[in-house]
Amino acid sequence: MNFPVLYLRKGAERRLRAGHLWVYSNEVDTRRSPLTDFEAGAQAELRAFNDKAMGTVFVNPHALICGRLISRNAAHGMTPQRLTERVETALALRERLFDKPFYRWVFGDSDGLSGLVIDRFDDVVVVQISTAGMEQMKDPVIRAVQRLCHPRAIILRNDGKMRKVEGLDTYVQQVHGPEIDRLTVEENGVRFEVPMDGGQKTGWFYDHRMNRQRLQTYAPARRVLDVFSYVGGWGIQAACAGATRVTCVDSSAGAIESVHHNARINGLDNIDTIEGDAFEALKALCEEKEKFDIVVLDPPALIPRRRDQKAGEEAYARLNQLGLRLLDRDGLLVSASCSMHLSQDKLTDIIRSSGRKIDRFVQLLEQGHQAPDHPVVPGIPETDYIKSCFVRSLTGFL
């Protein structure tokens, strides 16, 4: 295939050679290849400053990440056939990992498909496209999904924030099958139903699957507080594992309604809910001198951008102090983060500091990671974003 050429500045190829797949606009030699010469979503050959071929990229001249590597072979662009092969390769991994069809089928760059996320809910597939390049491949994506798993329904959930950055319209559209109003999820032996209207991201967060499974080990005969509960992913699973009482906290009335719905379909009658801001709810529980055996903190990304680092770390610190205060003498804090800019070591240090401030002796029992249907590319730190700490908290111990 004959592609226009995108040239890099001198030295800008080092990060790509180390394994990364993104090109930033300030890394482009705009004298030799003005970005204004490219249309959003176009494919181009990428060359180093010394004219050595680096591969092919999707280009978006309007975005900070203006190039996304498709292949390290300069002759290989993204064709419908190549896209289908990569979607099929991704599917083969998930089918080896899980015995039922509930998983993240495609995880963007980690599966060689930058800008594409596919989540599978049995015979319903939700597709999320976030880049101009992948938007050009929308029809081949739909055809690949149809050919590989013959779903009852396919939904395009193209309403993420990244689309605005890429200059794309946002929309939600069902492109195949009968109208779907609820997604069914089965995770760790527990069933959930998530409404399509108002659901977050693709509707479910498969990334903490293994961490929620680990929680089940600690849950029997314990009182559990699930903060930022969404539709009850952590709390409902804890209850099904034998927790005596579970309280779910979320600011969304729709999410709270879904918690009660999911409790009913699992035959549970020991679920309480609190609708409201998580920080305010935790403060009120502290003032009421409530105590729990397990507190789960799984907030949205509190550090969405690097410039939010300081404020975000302070928010994590406040959150973890409140969570620790609510634990009984020998309690378990499950502190999770999906902030790409917060490292596992930093989260651990925040918990350490929070424990010292309120005179708690803390023991780090386990550290959790994202599930294997969210594989990490070692050269792309951005693909490694989920972390969790299972921390035992003791009062008056030392």
Q: Is 338 a catalytic residue?
A: yes
Structure tokens at 319: 């959150």
Please tell me whether residue 182 adopts helix, strand or coil conformation. Answer: strand
How far apart CA 225 and CA 318 sit, in angstroms, is 17
Q: How many CB atoms lie within 10 A of CB 179?
A: 8
Residue of 66, 240, 248, 338 marked active site: 338
Secondary-structure breakdown of the chain: helix, strand, coil percentages, each rounded to the nearest 5: 35, 30, 35
140-173 b/e (C-beta count within 10 Å ≥ 16 → b): bbbebbeebbebebbbbbbebebbebbebeeeee
How far apart CA 247 and CA 323 sit, in angstroms, is 13
How far apart CA 268 and CA 240 sit, in angstroms, is 8
Q: How does strand 102-107 pair with strand 65-71?
A: unpaired
| Residue 252, CB-side half-sphere exposure with 13 Å CA sphere | 17
Rg of the chain's alpha carbons, rounded to an integer? 23
Structure tokens at 282: 């935790």
The catalytic residue positions are: 338
